[in-house]
Amino acid sequence: MEKIKKILRTLTLWVRKNPQEAFFLGVILLIAAVLRLYRIADYMTFLGDEGRDAIIVRRLLVDGDLILIGPGTSIGNMYLGPLYYYLIAPSLLLANFSPIGPAVFVALLGIATVFGVYYVGREWFGRSAGLISAFLYSLSSVVIIYSRSSWNPNIMPFFALFCIYSLWKIWEKRRWKWLFVLATSFAFVLQSHYLGLLLAPTILIFWVWTFRNLKLIGNRKLEIGNFLRYSAIGMAIFAGLMSPLVIFDARHGWNNFAAVKKFFVERQETVSARPWSALPKFIPLSEKITTRLVTGKNASAGVKVTLIASIGVLWLTYLGLRRRKVEVNRKALLLIFSWLGFAVLGLGLYKQEIYDHYFGFFFAAPFLLIGAVLGYINSRGALGKIVSLVALLILLELGLKDTPLGYPPNYQLVRTREVAAKIRDEAFGEKFNLAVVAERNYEDAYQYFLEAWDTEVTDIDPLVLDETIGKYLFVVCELPREKCDPTNNPKAEVANFGWSKVEAEWEVGGVILYKLAHAQ
């Protein structure tokens, strides 16, 4: 309690000393909160992946089923660790098992990331840079979209920023306890998406650099010993957080390890083994990142902003290196260059489609660089203030054109619950099976509610058909009616039910629901 009071006193004192900055920060955080929380139940994504996660976490809370493995990846038959599930469990419980709870938690984490971008930007490049970086980050449509739903990649931006800031504290400030924060945050990054591995080169380089600097100082045996001791404890923390996945893998013949190895070593159709092959993609990828994150998916503007921002960053770097009187944080720029450089290099080696959520481990990096440039320009007198304000307004206009709230809500959660309620009512307490015919969805979103309501929904197991096959099969078709064909669909959930006939059908929440019974 005393520590909380001390923090509040420090915060109050800071607000009194910096009223204008505190006001602008408050406005930015308010904007971030509105864009992430407004009508979240109507806009949030709730499809098969989200339903699967909710089912697993509910079973943890209700049945005490410990989780040793996390979500599976979309390619490679690899699985993540379970930290994401444990992280969202309290919010699901507090929301009385409504999926809105974890979505709100992720949104709050997104708002915290906006504050983190401000805090890091301010410490590295000054007050204006921090506010500009946070403001632009809060408005990014892609960032907003992945802050409004509960999905494992959506927690990565928060923990990735913590990773980089921890490195800063270790490398520049020699605060060895931040090695614990680094280990914890990196474990969360890796267990949200394996692309977080692209943070590893930066972590390794700056860890080695820190150790080398200590050795060069000389007569610092005690400090070197502390650094190595805290590093060892950090590694133990990291190993402990990763251990559930290792334990699971050991019990199942190291299948996950083999899949990861095959993906990165043998799957040449997915990942290139030649680092130089990524070099021709460096500029196009940089433009794509800027287009998706900064310019509201406007490709033409993305090319221009990438060019201008690159010139600005190079100019800022030159000033920091050549003109010693100019206060430019060269070390912070170097850290961001490594962070973003390895990200683009790694994505350049990837041969398949690059989706927006793949950028999650460096969401903050482009905004910190743009904030650094505009913040410096803003500090160069009246003309600099005008130039930075015009640039900010242009970026604001580009960002607002594609804001998610400008589109109608998807009502996925509402529709899923409505369809599940219809299935529950039409099952009449009998055992039944479920199938979903769709392009990008599967059963678990509907099944979450059916399990929560204690219906007799059962997955068909061909090995124990008599025990798992139900009296009815409910088929949810999210395709046009002419493409449904519920009795002859080749999907396993339909085929395993056997010969069937349509007993009834309804249109519920914009989808077609069929009730199938066994054909005599």
Tell me the DSSP string of 60-83: HHHH-------PBPSSTT-B--SH
- Name the pLDDT band for 280 (thresholds 50, 70, 90): confident
**∠ CA 261-265-270, rounded to 5°:** 105
Q: C-alpha 160: how far from its chain's center?
A: 9
Residue positions counted in the chain: 520
Q: pLDDT digit string (tens) for 162-182?
A: 999 999 999 999 999 999 999
186 closest CA partner among 250, 149, 237, 259: 237
Does 437 lie in the same domain as 402? no
Report helix angle 156-171 to 330-349, nearest 10.
140
Query: What span, in angstroms and rounded, lies between the C-alpha atoms of 140 and 148?
Result: 13
DSSP string, 347-360: HHHB-S---GGGGG
The pLDDT assigned to 412 comes to 95
φ, ψ of residue 254 to 5 degrees: the values are: 55, 35
Is residue 395 assigned to a domain?
A: yes
Q: What is the pLDDT of residue 264?
A: 65
476 shares its domain with 331? no
- pLDDT tens readout for residues 75-108: 667 889 999 999 999 999 999 999 999 999 999 9
**Radius of gyration of the chain measured on its C-alpha atoms:** 26
Domain stop point among 361, 377, 406 = 406
Q: Tell whether 388 is covered by a domain.
A: yes
Q: Is residue 394 part of a domain?
A: yes
Cβ–Cβ contacts within 10 Å for residue 209, how many? 14
- Read off φ and ψ for residue 63, nearest 5 degrees: -105, -10
- C-alpha torsion angle, residues 443, 448, 451, 452 (rounded to 10): -160
Say if residue 199 is in the same domain as residue 299: yes
Predicted pLDDT of residue 267: 54
> In this model, does residue 344 exceed pLDDT 60?
yes
For 103, the token pair is: 């979505």
Residues 336 and 468 in one domain: no
Are residue 510 and residue 402 in the same domain, yes or no?
Answer: no
Are 183 and 322 in a shared domain?
yes
Sheet holding 500-508, edge to edge: 432-437, 472-477, 511-518, 500-508
In the three-class reduction of DSSP (H, G, I as helix; E, B as strand; rest coil), residue 45 is classed as coil
pLDDT given for residue 323 in this prediction? 57
Q: Tell me the pTM.
A: 0.93
Co-location of 457 and 388 in the same domain: no
Close Cβ partners of 216 (under 8 Å, ≥ 6 residues apart): none
The count of domains in the chain is 2
Q: Which segment of 21-35, 71-85, 165-179, 448-462 scores lowest on mean pLDDT?
A: 71-85
**Band of pLDDT at residue 315, cut at 50, 70 and 90:** confident
DSSP state of 437: E
Give percent above pLDDT 90 in the chain. 68
Which among 381, 406, 431 is the end of a domain? 406
Do 394 and 510 lie in one domain? The reply is no
Name the nearest CA neighbour of 152 among 95, 59, 83.
Answer: 83
Distance CA(490)–CA(60), nearest Å, equals: 33
Question: What are the tokens at 370?
Answer: 């743009």
Per-residue pLDDT, 326: 53
Range of the domain at 513: 412-518
| Domain identity same for 283 and 349 | yes
17 located within any domain: no
For the chain, helix, strand, coil in percent to 5 are 70, 5, 25
Residue with tokens 């079973």: 59
Q: Mind giving me the DSSP string for 87-102? A: HHHHHHHHTTT-THHH
Q: Spell out the SS3 assignment of 143-186.
A: HHHCCCCCCHHHHHHHHHHHHHHHHHHHHCCCCCCHHHHHHHHH
Q: Which residues fall within 8 angstroms of residue 507, CB to CB, at 6 or more apart?
A: 513
Question: 349-399: per-residue pLDDT in tens?
Answer: 887 788 899 999 999 999 999 999 999 999 888 898 999 999 999 999 988
Is pLDDT above 70 for 426?
yes
Same structural domain for residues 160 and 60? yes
What span, in angstroms and rounded, lies between the C-alpha atoms of 367 and 373?
Answer: 10
- Span between the terminal Cα atoms of the chain, in Å: 70
Interatomic CA distance for residues 140 and 472, integer angstroms: 46
Last residue of a domain, one of 377, 406, 435: 406
Orientation angle between helical segments 364-378 and 156-171, nearest 10 degrees: 60
Using CA atoms, how far apart are residues 333 and 338, in angstroms rounded to an integer? 9
The pair phi, psi for residue 165, each rounded to 5°, is -65, -35
Point out which residues pair with 11 in neighbouring strands.
Answer: none
Per-residue confidence (pLDDT) for residue 402, from 0 to 100: 84
Q: Tell whether 209 is covered by a domain.
A: yes
One domain for residues 503 and 383: no
Q: Nearest-CA neighbor of 32 among 24, 43, 21?
A: 24
**Residue 215 pLDDT exceeds 80:** no
- Looking at the structure, tell me whether residues 97 and 238 fall in a common domain: yes
**Quick one: pLDDT at residue 303?**
93
Answer with the residue of higher pLDDT: 354 or 60: 60
For residue 143, being part of any structural domain is answered with yes
The DSSP annotation for 470-481 comes to -SEEEEEE-S-G
